[in-house]
Structure 1
Amino acid sequence: MAAVNLGRKPNPATDAPLEPGALVSAATPAAQSGPEHVEEPVAYDAILLASFGGPEGQDDVIPFLRNVTRGRGIPEERLEEVAHHYRAFGGVSPINDQNRELKAALEARLAERGIDLPVLWGNRNWDPYLNDALSEARDAGYTKLIALATSAYSSYSSCRQYREDFADALEDTGLIGSIQIDKVRQYFDHPGFVTPFIEGLRGALEELRAAVPDIDLETQAEVLFATHSIPSTDAAKSGPGERGFDGNGAYAAQHLAVAEVVMHEATGGTTVPWQLVYQSRSGPPSMPWLEPDVNDAIKGLAERGVRAVIVVPLGFVSDHMEVLWDLDREAKETAEEHGLHFQRIPTPGVHTEYVDGLIDLVLERVNGTPTAERPAMTDLGPWYDVCRPGCCENVRLGFKPAIAGLKP
């Protein structure tokens, strides 16, 4: 077995070898042949809750950012520019505490539902790392894991990079061939993820009517569905090419489809204008990223005479740093500077529908639920259990070893 260095980000994997006759690396037998949807029951030993991770003190901030940007040649001065977001919160990202809450909520609900599956937790970029979680699984004798990533959409950073990091952790711990990891489907349109946004927007519209009684929602208010911007090249490669998405790929298409559902369900027939906006871009100005930026969109609303804006953080599962800083601070300040009433609805967090929805996604694979019986609130889903060949390529870095999908 390879030497295991716990408490640090795993080294990049050099390979993700296939079992004899398999088409999907490190997969359970039910998924090894690469079906779009696995309809064969699998007796998993544990759930692997996989997240981004975040610093938990001032001394952690720069090492954490180095982990996040490893291999990209980002200069230290640029890291310092980003670091002030974390330093403003004492160097502590809220994401780890949010994952602790989610893990506890999953464990409690699993017990209430009589489901005997322990929950392991590992991060991509900070302690506890994914190799720590896999070592915990090995020590407990768990060999079949079903992964829940805290990311609902299809793109390199929100899906394939998780699959690469699983491969990194397996190689780093010497557990390739000993532990199998499947991953639940991207759940952007699962009711458990979408319902909290519907409830949140419905409540925000009621609050807006009360706060600004004379407002005309159809001409003086707008809903901004906000998500993390990604490079345009990554967006174009998100999702399987054969699905025929436009130049912004599955990533934008999924968000737009979910936003339409949320608007339809939350507004009760009221025609409130809305648009999809992006935030948190971090690339150089020379690299195109998805637009419009949320702050630019807010400025444009003010110029059109809009009086109020409701921000729906549709791309996020919890109130982590990008929500607290980029929306609650920067976007809110932009709205106030331009005289707009500002509201931001909650993320799913540990909403009961979201927690139950994640468990239901696991049970789809435990029970081998037929595709026709799987819930999806848009015409795009239910999404794939096994990622398709070439899905969500990182054009700048190329294809790295990954699991839970067909090569490359």
Structure 2
Amino acid sequence: MKRKSIGVLVMSYGTPESLEGVEAYYTHIRRGNPPSAEQLEDLTNRYRSIVGGVFPLRENTNRQVAALQHTLDELAGEDSFVCYQGLKHAFPYIEDGIAAMAAAGITKAIGIVLTPQYSVMSVGGYMKRAQEEAAKHGIAFKSVQEYHLHPELIEALSERVKEGLHKFDKQGADTLVLFSAHSLPAKILEMNDPYSDQLLATSAAIANLAGVKKWQFTWQSAGQTGQPWLGPDILETLEQISEEGITSVLVTPVGFVSDHLEVLYDIDIEAHEYASERGIRLERIRMLNDDPQYMAALADSVLIVHRELE
């Protein structure tokens, strides 16, 4: 007999539902400060540049939540889990997901963020919002802290690296695998934040399993805040490796798990054009999206935390 349902809040950054929603979305990111006309035009044009605009990005997250629900249904045994979506900068917001749980009578819940590596400034922020909202509704809430070395995650990514290297001559023997992730303000280094170390650990584990010898790590998609962000940026790295004579690169965005703007624009358009201008062939691995192995990593992480809640 199934026990009372446990809520699972699946959290991610969020994206607007249409081009008309970009301004409200950008304003939320900027903590209520509307973007300038130039900033709004730049972001809107980036969405226009990717195939399908914003719509595939929202659908990616919806499919991930549905796939995690299906995987938990298969693995949970006598327990019953119900997945809810909670976004940082778009509806349904994190608070909306918690409110929906409360309305359904859920009293225990687990949070997981669609980012494998922990930082107090990213994953930690999601968790804080969810924890505070859950407390208002009397929901016992616990989050998955990170899953950056989960075997299913590493295997899924290593298979994509091997697949990607086969696009090149000599099966990528001369290709540099360039791991990347979203930059954060450099002040996290003063906070002993684990983000950088976890990203390097993920990258090293993938390279080891895929048998990759030539690899390095770089940052991308830094915000324009007037303060230093972690670097070097991917464009700076491409400049450097072009000077070293490297002519083929496989970008592996280990800090991202789906096709979204930072992948489809920042890598596939901006970095690709920059590399091409320097005589570098740049390819990218397939993103995880709702890959069964990735779903297994998420579900297993949820089940581990659930046992701790018992």
Same fold (TM over 0.5): yes
Instruction: Identify unmatched segments of 5+ residues in structure 2.
Output: none
Equivalent position SS for 1:207: coil
Equivalent position SS for 1:157: coil
**Change over 3 Å in CA distance of 1:334–1:83 after alignment to 2:** same
CA deviations over 1:23-75 (Å, ceiling 9, x no partner): xxxxxxxxxxxxxxxxxxx9862211111111011110010011112067865
Compute the displacement of 1:182 (Å): 0.9
Structure 2 counterpart of 1:262, one-letter code: I
Distance in 1 (alpha carbons) for counterparts of 2:37 and 2:133: 26
Is 1:353 the counterpart of 2:293? The answer is: yes
- Report if the CA contact (8 A) 2:49-2:265 is conserved: no
**Change over 3 Å in CA distance of 1:341–1:194 after alignment to 2:** same
Query: How large is the Cα RMSD of the aligned pairs?
Result: 2.4
Equivalent position SS for 1:156: coil
Distance in 1 (alpha carbons) for counterparts of 2:85 and 2:34: 29
Question: After superposition, where does 1:129-278 map in structure 2 within 5 Å?
Answer: 129-167=93-131, 169-170=133-134, 176=136, 178-208=138-168, 212-213=169-170, 217=173, 220-239=174-193, 250-267=194-211, 271=213, 273-278=214-219
Equivalent position SS for 2:223: coil
Distance in 1 (alpha carbons) for counterparts of 2:140 and 2:45: 39
**Change over 3 Å in CA distance of 1:123–1:238 after alignment to 2:** farther
- Which residue does the alignment assign to 2:223? 282
Question: After superposition, where does 1:88-107 map in structure 2 within 5 Å?
Answer: 88-89=49-50, 92=54, 94-107=56-69
- Which residue does the alignment assign to 1:315? 255
**Change over 3 Å in CA distance of 1:360–1:136 after alignment to 2:** same
Structure 2 counterpart of 1:306, one-letter code: I
Aligned residue pairs total: 304
**Change over 3 Å in CA distance of 1:76–1:181 after alignment to 2:** farther
Compute the displacement of 1:168 (Å): 5.8
Structure 2 counterpart of 1:350, one-letter code: D
Higher helix share: 2
**Change over 3 Å in CA distance of 1:238–1:186 after alignment to 2:** farther
- Identity percentage over the alignment? 30
CA deviations over 1:306-330 (Å, ceiling 9, x no partner): 1210100111111111011101111
Between 1 and 2, higher relative CO (CA 8 Å, sep ≥ 6) is seen in: 1
Tell me the TM-score normalized by structure 1.
0.69
Structure with the greater alpha carbon radius of gyration: 1
CA deviations over 1:261-320 (Å, ceiling 9, x no partner): 1111102xx63x211101111224x52111111112112222211121010011111111
- Report if the CA contact (8 A) 2:19-2:44 is conserved: no
Higher strand share: 2
Structure 2 counterpart of 1:64, one-letter code: Y
- Report if the CA contact (8 A) 1:200-1:345 is conserved: yes
